[in-house]
């Protein structure tokens, strides 16, 4: 009872506040009167009118600071009164804040009579620059804002064509109108009575907690069933092995006594060893005249069931976005979680022989078009599946039958500004494409080198995956004479970007940076540009800091930089070389399945269970002899890379 009395005043105050907000005027009068009669104290909560008055004052102060160009006062009020959840989580608020910083940065240029005070202008520009390097980084990948990152470094922005719009008479009033509308919405939302806020928060919290608990329960049940099956199988195998072991010991004793063991007896033991029904036929196929066949058969993995690919493709094109996402996820998991060897090869060959991605289709609506879906999840999961295909040599061969897939991926790479993981997977697929010479040629002709150099100008804004695969792709394209010629057109920029990357904290990129530098420095005009910018001094700085392998590679680069004669055929066309630079290795990265966006609800099917329940087919798995890879050249590690690689293969130490 004591607790109730202690909080009664506050509770009654919350009720009164809500009645006032909802305009229950008669009810509020009766409620207040009855509280007074019964001697119930009413907590003096902040009334609606007072709150409205305070909100209006704050809004006026913010607008006044905007008009006066007083950025310190403005952003002090902004950070104090605009909730951090809105500032950091609302895309409109983030964009508005960016333009507000621009407004204050150029305020003196637009409003000063004569030349603006240099010290005050420098202070405003420095404030804007500090914002770009901290909170403003979040928008650095957005095409709309990219030009404004150069604003602090332009001597006279008023005459620069990129900033023409900022100095038009209409720009500031339009921004002010947006600010006023935004403030009105934010402060209206902040006037919500506390009782309603508590109800919403608790309801949402409970709903999220129930969903989380349900998901955990489904996952726990799934794991429990898996472990139970494994336990039962291990227990059965254990009893079987004990029996077989006892018989083999008896057989050894008999052999010591001079008794012969017949092949028929060994066959019967083998049948018991392969007790699983699916392996009975394998047990009968063991050749006892050849040592080691039993151990090899033990390593065999069962094939996954065939699928109805016509139905699958139909649902991928016509199904709901959620179904499409679950199907793309399940098909990818079939590739990424299958056992390397016959099982994975059978899965991939089934996909290829049934043209799962419609690479050979000329229909307007095809599975490949999912790469341009309006759904972020579908786009991302399609990019992940293509990247999984590209991780396998046969998958790359399938995707490279024509340049349609390449062009779609290049378009997606340049357009995708919402989803980082989609962009990563598109880039990963393109990087693996660059192991194939015809696709290298197409990417160079499409100007992809220029896009990569531009993206790498600010490496700290890129994820580790994006940075590593961008540099590796750039290196692969620079190994071709056509790629070197492209680099020669923007030699200064390419050399600046690569020299900056030499000192980057991500050491995984160093072999690709070194390989790209070594390659392009075979071009005389690029060597001249490099000498002019003092490249040798830059490289020698890294010799002092690098490890032994890095030092040896840089010494090779310096030697290339100072060479006068051209290496044999370095500037000749390399189009007559072998058709392929293909690695003979399949690398399925763990990143392909990271950060899944969708989880099944109660009763929903996903993964292999979805495929096996709804899309079983008849004899769609087709075997195929794996094509023989090209002879590979082992990389010593002392010299910079001079053959195309992909980061996954390079990290695993495969020949390149």
Distance between CA atoms of residues 77 and 62, nearest Å = 7
Distance between CA atoms of residues 389 and 398, nearest Å = 8
Same domain, 399 and 498: no
Backbone angles phi, psi at 307, to 5 degrees: -120, 160
Q: Does 58 reside within a domain? A: yes
Mean pLDDT, residues 590-618: 87
Same domain, 147 and 218: no
- The token pair at 96 is 């508005």
Same domain, 28 and 55: no
What Cα–Cα distance (Å) separates residue 586 from each residue in 309, 396, 399? 24, 10, 15
Q: What is the dihedral of CA 454, 458, 464, 470, to 10 degrees?
A: 10
pLDDT at 280 over 60: no
Q: Provide the pLDDT for residue 381.
A: 95
Read off the DSSP letter of residue 600.
Answer: -
Distance between CA atoms of residues 561 and 649, nearest Å = 28
Q: Does 290 reside within a domain? A: no
Label each residue of 393-432 as H, E or C: HHHHHHHCCCCHHHHHHHHHHHHCCCCHHHHHHHHHHHHH
Distance between CA atoms of residues 20 and 42, nearest Å = 14
Mean pLDDT, residues 46-67: 75
Domain finish residue from 565, 580, 604: 565
The answer to whether the beta carbons of residues 114 and 98 sit under 8 Å apart is no
pLDDT band, very low/low/confident/very high, at 571 (cuts 50, 70, 90): very low
When mean pLDDT is compared across 26-40, 349-363, 383-397, 569-583, the lowest value belongs to 569-583
* Rounded percentage of the chain residues whose pLDDT exceeds 70: 82
Q: Does 387 reside within a domain? A: yes
Same domain, 42 and 175: no
pLDDT at 193 over 80: no
Q: Provide the pLDDT for residue 629.
A: 43
Q: Provide the pLDDT for residue 45.
A: 53
Read off the DSSP letter of residue 40.
Answer: P
pLDDT band, very low/low/confident/very high, at 189 (cuts 50, 70, 90): low
Q: Does 105 reside within a domain? A: yes
Domain finish residue from 256, 274, 292: 274
Same domain, 413 and 337: yes
Same domain, 317 and 426: yes
The answer to whether the beta carbons of residues 637 and 330 sit under 8 Å apart is no
- Alpha carbon 460 to its chain centroid, in Å, reads 15
Helices 91-105 & 171-190 angle (0-180, nearest 10): 140
Same domain, 325 and 397: yes
Q: Does 470 reside within a domain? A: no
Same domain, 269 and 393: no
Helix, coil or strand: residue 457: coil
Tens of pLDDT, residues 137-187 = 888 777 788 888 888 888 888 888 888 888 888 999 999 999 998 888 887
Distance between CA atoms of residues 359 and 355, nearest Å = 6
Specify the number of domains making up the chain: 5
C-alpha angle 126/128/129, rounded to 5°?
Answer: 60
pLDDT at 329 over 60: yes
Q: Does 292 reside within a domain? A: no
Q: Does 19 reside within a domain? A: yes
Mean pLDDT, residues 496-504: 86
Tens of pLDDT, residues 286-323 = 554 444 455 444 455 667 888 999 999 999 999 999 99
Read off the DSSP letter of residue 169.
Answer: T
pLDDT at 635 over 80: no
The answer to whether the beta carbons of residues 636 and 511 sit under 8 Å apart is no
What Cα–Cα distance (Å) separates residue 544 from each residue in 62, 499, 636? 53, 15, 22
Closest CA to 368 of 326, 412, 322, 330: 412
- The token pair at 361 is 């289709």
Read off the DSSP letter of residue 504.
Answer: -
Q: Provide the pLDDT for residue 190.
A: 57
C-alpha angle 140/146/149, rounded to 5°?
Answer: 80
pLDDT band, very low/low/confident/very high, at 640 (cuts 50, 70, 90): confident
Closest CA to 384 of 464, 344, 433, 330: 330
Rounded to a whole number of angstroms, the CA Rg of the chain reads 34
Same domain, 341 and 239: no
Q: Does 643 reside within a domain? A: no
Distance between CA atoms of residues 140 and 162, nearest Å = 16
Domain finish residue from 228, 253, 274: 274
Mean pLDDT, residues 443-454: 92
Backbone angles phi, psi at 364, to 5 degrees: -65, -35
Helix, coil or strand: residue 587: coil
Q: Which residues on adjacent β-strands are paired with residue 594? A: none
What is the greatest pairwise CA distance in the chain? Answer: 115
Domain span at residue 7 reads 2-46
Distance between CA atoms of residues 120 and 110, nearest Å = 14
Same domain, 424 and 333: yes
Distance between CA atoms of residues 158 and 164, nearest Å = 7
Same domain, 54 and 32: no
Same domain, 532 and 610: no
pLDDT at 273 over 70: no
Distance between CA atoms of residues 75 and 423, nearest Å = 34
Helix, coil or strand: residue 490: coil
State the CATH number of the domain containing residue 400.
Answer: 1.25.10
What Cα–Cα distance (Å) separates residue 140 from each residue in 135, 146, 351, 400, 448? 10, 6, 38, 33, 20
Residues near 602 by beta carbon (within 8 Å), at least 6 away in sequence: 214, 218
């Amino acid at each position: 009872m004591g607790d109730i009395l202690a909080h009664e005043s506050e509770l009654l105050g919350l009720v009164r506040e809500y009645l006032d907000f909802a305009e229950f005027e008669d009810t509020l009068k009766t409620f207040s009167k009855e509280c007074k009669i019964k001697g119930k104290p009413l907590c003096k909560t902040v009334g609606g009118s007072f709150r409205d008055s305070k909100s209006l004052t704050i809004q006026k102060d913010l607008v006044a600071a905007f008009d006066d160009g007083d950025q310190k006062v403005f952003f002090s009020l902004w950070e104090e009164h605009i909730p951090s959840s809105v500032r950091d989580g609302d895309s409109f608020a983030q964009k508005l804040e960016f333009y507000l910083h621009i407004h204050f940065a150029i305020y003196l240029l637009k409003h000063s009579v004569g030349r603006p005070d240099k010290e005050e202008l420098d202070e405003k520009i420095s404030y804007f620059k500090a914002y770009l390097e901290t909170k403003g980084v979040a928008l650095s990948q957005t095409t709309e804002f990219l030009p404004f990152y150069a604003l602090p470094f332009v001597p006279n922005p008023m005459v620069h064509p990129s900033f023409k719009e900022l100095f038009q008479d209409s720009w500031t009033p339009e921004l002010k109108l947006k600010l006023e509308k935004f403030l009105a919405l934010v402060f209206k939302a902040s006037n919500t009575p506390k009782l309603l806020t508590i109800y919403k928060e608790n309801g949402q919290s409970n709903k999220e907690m129930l969903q989380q608990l349900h998901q955990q329960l489904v996952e726990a049940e799934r794991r429990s069933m898996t472990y139970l099956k494994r336990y039962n199988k291990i227990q059965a195998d254990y009893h079987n092995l004990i029996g077989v072991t006892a018989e083999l010991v008896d057989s050894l004793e008999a052999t010591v006594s001079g008794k012969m063991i017949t092949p028929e007896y060994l066959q019967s033991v083998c049948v018991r060893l392969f007790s699983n029904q699916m392996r009975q036929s394998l047990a009968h196929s063991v050749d006892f005249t050849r040592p080691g066949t039993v151990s090899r058969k033990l390593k065999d993995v069962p094939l996954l069931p065939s699928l109805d690919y016509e139905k699958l493709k139909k649902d991928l094109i016509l199904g709901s976005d959620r179904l499409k996402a679950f199907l793309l996820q399940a098909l990818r998991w079939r590739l990424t979680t299958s056992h390397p060897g016959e099982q994975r090869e059978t899965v991939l060959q089934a996909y290829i022989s049934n043209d799962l991605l419609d690479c050979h289709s000329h229909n307007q609506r095809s599975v490949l078009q999912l790469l341009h879906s309006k759904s972020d999840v579908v786009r991302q999961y399609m990019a992940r599946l293509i990247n999984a295909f590209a991780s396998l040599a046969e998958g790359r061969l399938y995707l490279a039958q024509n340049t349609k897939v390449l062009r779609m991926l290049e378009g997606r790479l340049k357009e995708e500004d919402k989803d980082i993981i989609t962009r990563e997977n598109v880039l990963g697929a393109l990087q693996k494409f660059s192991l194939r010479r015809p696709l290298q040629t197409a990417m160079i002709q499409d100007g992809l080198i220029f896009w990569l150099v531009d993206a790498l100008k600010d490496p700290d804004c890129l994820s580790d995956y994006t940075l590593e695969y961008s540099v590796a792709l750039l290196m692969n394209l620079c190994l071709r004479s056509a790629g070197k010629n492209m680099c020669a057109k923007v030699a200064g920029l390419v050399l600046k970007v690569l020299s900056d990357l030499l000192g980057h904290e991500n050491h995984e990129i160093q072999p690709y940076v070194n390989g790209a530098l070594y390659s392009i420095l075979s071009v005389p005009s690029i060597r001249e540009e490099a000498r002019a910018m003092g490249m040798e001094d830059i490289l020698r700085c890294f010799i002092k800091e690098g490890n032994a392998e890095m030092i040896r590679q840089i010494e090779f680069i310096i030697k290339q930089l100072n060479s006068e004669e051209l290496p044999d055929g370095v500037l000749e066309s390399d189009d007559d070389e072998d058709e392929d630079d293909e690695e003979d290795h399949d690398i399925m990265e763990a990143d392909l399945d990271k950060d899944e966006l969708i989880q099944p609800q109660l009763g929903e099917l996903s993964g292999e269970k979805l495929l096996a329940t709804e899309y079983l087919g008849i004899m769609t798995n087709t075997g195929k002899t794996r094509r023989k890879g090209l002879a590979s050249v082992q990389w010593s590690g002392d010299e910079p890379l001079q053959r195309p690689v992909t980061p996954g293969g390079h990290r695993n130490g495969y020949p390149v």
